[in-house]
Amino acid sequence: MSNELLAGKAAIVTGAGRGIGRAVALTMARAGAMVISASRTAEELDALTQEIESLGGKSMPLITDLSSESDIHRLVEATVAAFGRLDIVINNAGIGIYGPLTDMTIEEWDMVMNINARGPFLLCRESIPYLRLQERSYIVNIASVVGTKGYAGQSLYSASKHALMGMSKALAKEVQHDGIRVHAICPGGVDTAMAGQSRPDLDRSVLMQPEEIADAVLFLVTRRGKAVIDEIHLHREASLPWA
Ligand SMILES: NC(=O)c1ccc[n+]([C@@H]2O[C@H](COP(=O)([O-])OP(=O)(O)OC[C@H]3O[C@@H](n4cnc5c(N)ncnc54)[C@H](OP(=O)(O)O)[C@@H]3O)[C@@H](O)[C@H]2O)c1
């Protein structure tokens, strides 16, 4: 392990099998956290667990479908049963379905909202009673640049990320006096499978790397100061918002 900033802490990371979630899980494990990784693809979670264990860390994979309320309940209960605590929740898993709004179906709307907004709602609801037991605990929601903006062809995805941002802002106020900090990160393009799907026009070499988002997560969950940080926006160099 490279440092022990999160030694003894238990952290749930959703969508940890690949992309940003995998980088977040590895970064947290390197900082000493016990990582509970949740997604649907067993091989990816097993590979992650092996990598964390080879670094000398602790990890527990839990196959979880975030569209299922009972899976989310089980994820939290199994975490507390195994580690006796829960300190950090990273709502990272997400999906995108893209195209003109007029082509979208109710099933597609429900699918995107279920994974990107309802899943984080349920995971927060199940986790907060345990997070309250810690002196300081953290929820980090991985939203998107389209959690505050809108791009043509991304109306469903953007609606789901706006929903996640709204929930994050309200929840941050609701639980601040319980010692729970709620943050949202809004990344632009990150070099993952999802980016290839959502923005096939972009040159992958100009995108941010998943580890850059993981560094921002680590910063948020290891802060001890009084400052409250709400949203963090991370833009790739080519789209500097102030340029
Ligand atoms: N890449 C970007 O440019 C970018 C930019 C801004 C924000 N984001 C956000 O960052 C997060 C991670 O994105 P990524 O690019 O790393 O995507 P990714 O490579 O496609 O990974 C998505 C992860 O979410 C999991 N997931 C999807 N549906 C799930 C379900 N029903 N139950 C449980 N897990 C599920 C996937 O695992 P399984 O399929 O195995 O379940 C996978 O581990 C997402 O919330 C995304 O919206 C990405």
Q: Is residue 159 part of a domain?
A: yes
Between residues 196 and 100, the one the model is more confident about: 100
Could you give the 3-state DSSP secondary structure of residue 97? coil
- Structural domain boundaries enclosing 122: 10-239
Q: Measured in angstroms, how far is the CA atom of residue 242 from the centroid of ligand 1?
A: 28
Q: Is residue 2 part of a domain?
A: no
Q: Which of 22, 36, 40, 149 to mutate to test the pocket of ligand 1 (most atoms within 8 A of CB)?
A: 40
Mean of the per-residue pLDDT values of the chain: 94
Tell me the CATH number at 133: 3.40.50.720
Q: Is residue 189 part of a domain?
A: yes
Q: Is residue 14 part of a domain?
A: yes
Q: Is residue 126 part of a domain?
A: yes
Per residue in 38-77, pLDDT (tens digit) is 999 999 999 999 999 999 999 999 999 999 999 999 999 9
Q: Measured in angstroms, how far is the CA atom of residue 18 from the centroid of ligand 1?
A: 8
Domain count, the chain: 1
pLDDT for the residue 240: 65
C-alpha–C-alpha distance, residues 150 and 157, integer Å: 9
Which pair of structure tokens corresponds to residue 17?
A: 């099998």
Q: Kindly report the protein residue whose alpha carbon is nearest to atom 20 of ligand 1.
A: 194
pLDDT for the residue 140: 97
Phi, psi of 101 (to 5 degrees): -55, -35
pLDDT for the residue 243: 45
Q: Give me Rg for the CA atoms of the chain.
A: 17
Q: Does 223 score more than 90 pLDDT? A: no
Number of helices (H), then strands (E), belonging to the chain: the values are: 8, 7
If you write DSSP's letter for every residue of 132-201 in order, what string do you get?
TTSSSEEEEEE--GGGTS--TT-HHHHHHHHHHHHHHHHHHHHHGGGTEEEEEEEE--BSSHHHHHH-TT
Q: In ligand 1, which atom is closest to the CA atom of 114?
A: 31
Q: Is residue 56 part of a domain?
A: yes
Strand partners, 184: 141, 231
Per residue in 47-57, pLDDT (tens digit) is 999 999 999 99
Could you give the 3-state DSSP secondary structure of residue 58? strand
Q: Is residue 5 part of a domain?
A: no
Q: Does 179 score more than 50 pLDDT? A: yes
Q: Is residue 203 part of a domain?
A: yes
